Structure 1
């Protein structure tokens, strides 16, 4: 019979486990704060010529579209393409914002897949 073997976790492992739980709580709190910040952000994307502007929240929720009068003169097909370009620009910017903010939040945690 092994004396004092318990679950095979020494005090060092228990400290590591407690530290991991503490970090997980910090990340969870940070993620909740980040979610609130992203909801308040307004990220603007534009078509290359600047005739169409799309605004998304940091969570990629649509907030608005502005179309310059000159864009209407280009016709429906061109206006569609300008709108898609502005949407893609806003989407790319919001994705980059979320990615960089999550990296800040999880830096130094050595989380797999992050």
Structure 2
């Protein structure tokens, strides 16, 4: 065995890389836990009809509330249903985009060996 090679050619340099990767992974895990907590309390609003209907979700897509204006009520049941659906889709899209952005921020600098 040559000097610095360690077990089966797994040298000290590789061990240091692995240690750094584990540290980064642990940081990401801790950050993910904090992010999960933030997403639970976050409120993301979707709207339709220029604000006639609003749907509010948490960052985890948990429905929080629906707001319907009196003007929206006068539109009739079919239009109102379409407005509620459109507002829900808007809130969902904003929520998933927010979650994706936050996860990318969290994992941005993570380079695990073998996962290139």
Distance of 2:79 and 2:21 partners within structure 1? 53
Distance of 2:38 and 2:99 partners within structure 1? 10
User: What RMSD, in angstroms, separates the aligned Cα atoms of the two structures?
Assistant: 1.6
Residues 48/74 of structure 1: CA separation in 2 closer, same or farther (3 Å cut): closer
Ranges in structure 1 where 5+ consecutive residues have no aligned partner: none
Name the residue aligned to 1:67.
68
- Which SS does the other structure have where 2:46 is aligned? strand
Name the residue aligned to 1:28.
29
Q: Any idea what the Cα deviations from partners look like across 1:40-64, whole Å, max 9, x if unmatched?
A: 1011110032110000001110000
Name the residue aligned to 1:10.
11
Distance of 2:66 and 2:81 partners within structure 1? 12
Q: Shift of residue 96 of structure 1? A: 1.1
Distance of 1:13 and 1:103 partners within structure 2? 26
- Which SS does the other structure have where 1:77 is aligned? helix
Name the residue aligned to 1:45.
46
Equivalences, count: 111
What is the TM-score when the length of structure 1 is the normalising length? 0.90
Distance of 1:6 and 1:21 partners within structure 2? 19
- Which SS does the other structure have where 2:61 is aligned? coil
Q: Shift of residue 109 of structure 1? A: 1.2
Distance of 2:49 and 2:106 partners within structure 1? 32
| 4+ aligned runs moved over 4 Å, structure 1 | none
Q: Any idea what the Cα deviations from partners look like across 1:83-103, whole Å, max 9, x if unmatched?
A: 011001111111111011111
